[in-house]
């Protein structure tokens, strides 16, 4: 089973945003990345779409969810400041229940989750931290992540 772990698309610079950072939206490039990610994954076996509650994450996976006829479910474990081990456990629990997940998160949670899987024996193909709009495919076998493959951000 594959789990799709997506880093949110471009959303401008935090320092340029005057409001609550949780409300910072994708910029035009990020919107194009979100559409491209949806196009890449529209035919993938995905049963559940999870996201950090931050607007930029939700906007990144909304086109995918809509294309698949699914809702975007806020998953607090994937919000900024979340920890890798609990986020990985949540994904593995879904896989154990036979549900394939696409999850969108941030530049702190994703590397921590990847590091946790590596310590447990997973192999990594690609960099340990994805750029904005990039993603990983986590291959799960017998309750463990066995391989993590980096998928570069789409040209947007």
CATH level 3 topology of 2-151: Rossmann fold (3.40.50)
> Model confidence over 112-156: pLDDT tens digits?
999 999 999 999 999 998 999 999 999 999 999 999 999 999 875
In the chain, what are the domain boundaries?
A: 2-151
Task: Convert 11-43 to b/e letters by CB count within 10 Å (16 or more is b).
Answer: beeeeeeeeeeeebebbebbbbbbbbbbeebee
Q: Give residue 106's pLDDT band: very low, low, confident or very high (50, 70, 90).
A: very high
Please state whether the predicted TM-score (pTM) of the whole model is above 0.75. yes
Beta bridge partners of 150: 136
Q: Averaged over 15-28, what is the pLDDT? A: 74
């Amino acid at each position: 089973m594959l789990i799709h772990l997506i880093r949110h698309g471009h959303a401008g610079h935090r320092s340029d945003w005057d409001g609550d950072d949780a409300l910072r939206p994708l910029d035009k490039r990020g919107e194009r990345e979100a559409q491209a990610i949806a196009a890449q994954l529209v035919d993938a076996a995905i049963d559940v779409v999870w996201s950090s509650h931050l607007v930029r994450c939700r906007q990144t996976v909304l086109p995918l969810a809509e294309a698949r006829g699914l809702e975007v479910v806020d998953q607090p474990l994937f919000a900024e400041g979340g920890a890798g081990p609990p986020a990985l456990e949540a994904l593995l629990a879904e896989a154990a229940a036979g549900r394939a997940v696409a999850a969108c998160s941030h530049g702190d949670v994703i590397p921590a989750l990847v590091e946790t899987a590596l310590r447990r024996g997973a192999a990594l193909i690609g960099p340990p931290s994805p750029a904005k709009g990039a993603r990983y495919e986590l291959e799960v076998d017998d309750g463990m992540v066995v391989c993590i493959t980096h998928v570069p951000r789409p040209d947007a």
